[in-house]
């Protein structure tokens, strides 16, 4: 059993949505070229994510480091943001159970450097029973640096030795976190230089949090590797990542369906949906084409959760602009089930059904309702919400992102748009070397009459 | 001190975004007409949400009911979905502290009827120390009915008396929940008939969860009422809801900026952003104009959180299509602060700053970076993250939604698009009276060759 993509309702024959088998066939050669380029970059060592699933050594290293953490460490702070947080959190939430209800060691992801959360968190925890993992590839991420300074001060004040309470995941050679590792003799795991943040969940970035929570790191890689093999198929209709990419790009290009919704019918995949949003937005939202042409393109990824969002966003999906392609995710056999007790009266029809059956009926009803109004959807079927399925799902979307980047003609692996805001913030914080930015912010503010109500 | 809307960067003078003071002035009469219609509907008793902030009786009733819950009830299950869950959750998360870290009585919002969450939740809780609140205006919401059946079975099995462990918030007269209240002598609070689900946070729907968590229900209403008075101003530039509505509609109409991002720089407002998404999507996403013309319109609301999403969605906001209007939310004086300790080396510039200052610098940097590329934004300033500010924020967006509905020319208070999917799901579940829907689903599936990879 493996992850399956059902695309019946994303083609004209299923939902009269205008994208045909012929359109898909016409995309075959662009897909093949794109796949070849992605695989060539992977083979040349420039695109590390493609081969991570074969690196059992990384899983083993994460497992060993986690095993060295004493049993009396009950809480782990994962200090990272964006790609250094979302993947680990997606693993932990999907496989570690609902957030408020964890038993055993608890992981916390105070990614935002929000004092409201971090101050309360530190108030609640005992530094002698807490460890932290600082995750930043460059080592220079400001939010992570700030949180780490606070947490190190907190640990130090309690006399907690750093080599016992602080672990690091960073570049194997460079950066200020690497320097800290050397200076203080900290335990550390590397992020390979050829793996970008948002493609790093199957490195120590995701594997160490998973191992620390006692989750099945080998299963994650095994599922990802099985999916990798399917995503290397050269026939488009045999390649789930190719289909996922091509269908999203075709619906966008031909009909302006640029809002790409991921809607798992599973609470455990909420954090996964947030991971997808980063992956899709940051990879595909680009000002320039690869060849430098101005483009200002990029689909808008949207996270939703079924059935909850049937009472929130589905009204818009059903009646609003025809600019959306929805991908449902089904967990076909939920690990925990509940049977609804029977009762007389208007709710009698529910008796004997399971909650899982209710979610399935709602998902199918929603997909069909969209289709009958010529609104397309895809459905990803997970056999279970377990490590192999989740690993497969990660690789599937990463591969689809890389291929979609080729089909859109953009570089899916950079993020130049986040630099300016960061530099201006450095100016405001008085960082050395950013004096010009500080003056820019000041003159920007001075030049504008504030309009406030 | 009160909630303030800064719209400097949403006009041409601030961000060269093309929307001018003249455009705003030209919208004045449409705004005034819209406001008058909304207020007339409120005065006629058809639009209950406008006057909820004056109903101190509802706050008092919520407080009294909460006070009657014994101290040894440590956990409360809020059984509701959509508008019956999001508002209470937004209050609880903003004012009750970070979810994993609550002290005192804990509230849980298993809105999704996902067995993964509900089964684990019930495994963890002690029915003798747990109470549930079932919230559904009609009483017929299938997810709530199903969860309630499960939870009642669980309480009954433990011998927990229903009149002690189960409370209800529903229509004062009609529906199956009301019948249950009468039959079993349950404690209940009403949802006024003239208040729709997504506008109900300031009824018992939001106030009872708030009171059960020991939060300041009167402060919520006080803040909302102060905002109501400002939102009744007839000059557009004096009316924050009018400005919020008009600016969103103008950016959409004139420049296709239909992706409306709400981006609080505050972890505590994540659930608030989800509440906003429902309000905006379900109210404004409509197939028909009020006069019946086909429209298929509606902006796409998007939730983001700063600074986290600077590492996820901001790349797309900065470089992607010019189809977005971002509303930042700032908590100007965070209740909990943390000062970053000084340290030699590349992060020395952070020493002595607070985490709150870091978030502020990042927000300002991001807003200015967008503006210098002619991408507009708004900023809502909350003096603090407290009950009056949050109450004001709720009313502000509700009023803006009602006015935006008038400016878009649609009915902001119905949701016909969710019916079909629900009916088809009833068919699949074998509900009496939905035999035709069952046949429709079956023939729909039979008529399509499944395409699966």
- 8-state DSSP, A78: E
SS3 of B95-123: the string is HHCCHHHCCCCEEECCCCCCHHHHHHHHH
Mutate to test the interface with A, among B13, B31, B140, B308 (most CBs of A within 10 A): B308
Q: pLDDT value at position A97?
A: 72
Question: What residues of chain B lie within 8 A of the CB of A338, using their CB?
Answer: 115, 118-119, 122, 150
- Does B336 have pLDDT greater than 90? no
- Partner residue opposite B453 with nearest CB, options A4, A98, A313: A4
pLDDT band at A174 (very low <50, low <70, confident <90, very high): very high
What confidence tier does A102 reach under pLDDT thresholds 50, 70, 90? low
Assess: ipTM above 0.95: yes
Q: Do B448 and A13 touch (CB under 8 A)?
A: yes
Percent of chain B with pLDDT over 70: 99
Measured between beta carbons, the chain B residues lying within 8 angstroms of A311 are 81-83, 141, 143, 197, 278, 282, 418
Identical topology for domains A4-41+221-408 and A49-215: yes
**Chain A nearest CA to B61, separation (Å):** 27
CATH code, A49-215:
3.40.50.10490
Q: Each residue of A414-451: pLDDT tens digit? A: 999 999 999 999 999 999 999 999 999 999 999 999 99
- pLDDT value of position A116: 87
Its pTM stands at 0.98
Q: Under an 8 A CB cutoff, do B300 and A298 touch?
A: no
Gap between the terminal Cα atoms of chain B = 58
Tens of pLDDT, residues B38-49: 999 999 999 999
Q: Which residues in chain B touch residue A305, judged by CB atoms under 8 angstroms apart? A: 112
User: What are A338-350's pLDDT values in tens digits?
Assistant: 999 998 888 999 9
For residue B335, pLDDT over 90 is answered with no
Contact A341 B153 (CB under 8 A): yes
DSSP per position, B153-215:
HHHHHTT--HHHHEEEEE-SS-SHHHHHHHHHT-EEEEPPTT--GGG-TTSHHHHHHHHHTT-
Q: Among A85-99, A123-137, B75-89, B351-365, which is the least confidently predicted range?
A: A85-99
Q: Would you state the pLDDT for residue A98? A: 65
Which of B238, B297, B365 has its CB closest to that of A425?
B365
Mean pLDDT in residue range B162-182: 95
Mean pLDDT throughout A116-127?
91
Q: Please write the tens of the pLDDT for every residue from A274-329.
A: 999 999 999 999 999 999 999 999 999 999 999 999 999 999 999 999 999 999 99
pLDDT of residue A374: 98
Distance from CA of A65 to the nearest CA of B (A): 26
Span B274-329, pLDDT tens digits: 999 999 999 999 999 999 999 999 999 999 999 999 999 999 999 999 999 999 99
Shortest distance, CA B67 to any CA of chain A (angstroms):
25
From CA A310, how far away is CA B394, in angstroms rounded?
Answer: 22
Which of B76, B312, B420 is the mutation pick for testing A, counting most A CBs within 10 A? B312
> Average pLDDT for residues A129-148, to the nearest whole number?
95
Q: Is the pLDDT of residue A99 over 80?
A: no
Burial (CB count <10 Å: 0-12, 13-18, 19+), residue A300? buried
Cross-chain residue pair B337–A115, CB shorter than 8 Å: yes
Say if the Cβ atoms of A285 and B316 lie within 8 Å. yes
Judged by DSSP in three states, A140 sits in: coil
Indicate the pLDDT class of residue B99, thresholds 50, 70 and 90.
Answer: low
Q: What is the mean pLDDT of residues B226-233?
A: 98
Per domain, the residue ranges of chain B are 4-41+221-408, 49-215
Residue B97's pLDDT is: 72
Alpha-carbon torsion, ordered B47, B51, B57, B59, to 10 deg:
90
What CATH number was assigned to the domain covering residues B4-41+221-408? 3.40.50.10490
Give the per-residue pLDDT at A104. 76
Q: Which of A300, A357, A421 sits opposite B259 (nearest CB)?
A: A300
Out of A157, A311, A319, A419, pick the active-site residue. A311
| Residue A282 annotated to the active site | yes
pLDDT at B98: 65
Q: Smallest CA–CA separation between B297 and chain A, in Å?
A: 5
Q: Of B271, B295, B279, whose CA–CA distance to B245 is shortest?
A: B279
pLDDT at B406: 98
Query: CA separation (Å) from A166 to A85, A156, B180?
Result: 16, 11, 54
Which residue among the candidates A143, A282, A398, A406 is catalytic per the annotation? A282
Model pLDDT for residues B433-446, shown as the tens digit of each residue: 999 999 999 999 99
pLDDT over 80 (residue A230)? yes
B112 contacts on A by Cβ (under 8 Å)? 267, 305-308, 359
pLDDT per position as a tens digit, A46-84: 999 999 999 999 999 999 999 999 999 999 999 999 999
Tally the C-alpha atoms within 13 A of residue B210's C-alpha that lie toward its C-beta: 31
All residues of chain A having their beta carbon less than 8 Å from the beta carbon of residue B425 are 358, 361-362, 364-366
Q: Do B425 and A320 touch (CB under 8 A)?
A: no
Instruction: Verify whether the Cβ–Cβ distance B313 to A426 is below 8 Å.
Output: no
Confidence (pLDDT) at A17: 97
């Amino acid at each position: 059993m493996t992850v399956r993509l059902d695309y019946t309702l994303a083609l004209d024959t299923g939902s009269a949505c205008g994208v045909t088998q012929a359109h898909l066939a016409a995309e075959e050669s662009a897909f093949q070229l794109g796949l070849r380029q992605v695989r060539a970059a992977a083979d040349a060592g420039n695109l590390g994510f493609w081969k991570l699933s074969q690196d059992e050594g990384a899983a083993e290293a994460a497992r060993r480091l986690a095993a060295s953490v004493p049993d009396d460490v009950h809480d782990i702070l994962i200090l990272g943001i964006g790609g250094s947080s979302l993947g680990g959190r997606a693993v932990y939430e999907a496989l570690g159970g609902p957030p408020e209800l964890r038993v055993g060691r608890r992981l916390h992801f105070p990614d935002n450097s929000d004092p409201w959360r971090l101050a309360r968190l530190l108030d609640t925890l005992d530094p002698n029973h807490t460890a932290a993992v600082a995750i930043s590839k460059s080592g220079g991420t400001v939010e992570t640096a700030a949180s780490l300074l606070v947490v190190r001060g907190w640990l130090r004040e309690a006399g907690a030795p750093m080599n016992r309470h602080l672990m690091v995941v960073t570049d194997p050679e460079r950066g200020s976190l690497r320097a800290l590792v050397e200076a203080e003799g900290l335990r550390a795991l590397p992020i390979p230089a050829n793996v970008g943040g948002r493609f790093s969940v199957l490195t120590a970035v995701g594997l160490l949090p998973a191992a620390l929570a006692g989750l099945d790191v080998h299963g994650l890689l095994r599922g990802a590797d099985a999916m990798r093999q399917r995503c290397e198929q050269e026939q488009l209709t045999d390649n789930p990542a190719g289909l996922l990419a091509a269908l999203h790009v075709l619906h966008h290009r031909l009909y302006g369906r640029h809002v790409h919704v991921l809607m798992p019918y599973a609470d455990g995949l909420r954090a996964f949906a947030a991971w997808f949003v980063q992956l899709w937005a940051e990879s595909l939202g680009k000002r320039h084409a690869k060849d430098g042409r101005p483009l200002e393109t990029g689909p808008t990824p949207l996270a939703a959760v079924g059935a909850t969002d049937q009472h929130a966003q589905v009204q818009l999906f059903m009646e609003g602009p025809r600019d959306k392609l929805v991908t449902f995710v089904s967990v076909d056999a939920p690990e925990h089930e509940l049977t609804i007790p029977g009762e007389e009266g208007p709710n009698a029809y529910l008796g004997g059904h399971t909650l899982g059956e209710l979610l399935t009926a709602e998902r199918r009803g929603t997909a069909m309702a969209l289709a009958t109004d010529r609104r397309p959807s895809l459905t990803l079927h997970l056999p279970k919400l377990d490590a192999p399925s989740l690993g497969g799902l990660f690789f599937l979307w990463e591969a689809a992102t890389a291929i979609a980047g080729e089909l859109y003609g953009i570089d899916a692996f950079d993020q130049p748009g986040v630099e300016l805001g960061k530099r201006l913030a450095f100016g405001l914080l008085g960082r050395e070397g950013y004096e010009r930015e500080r003056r820019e912010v000041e003159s920007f503010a001075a030049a504008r009459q504030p309009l406030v109500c």
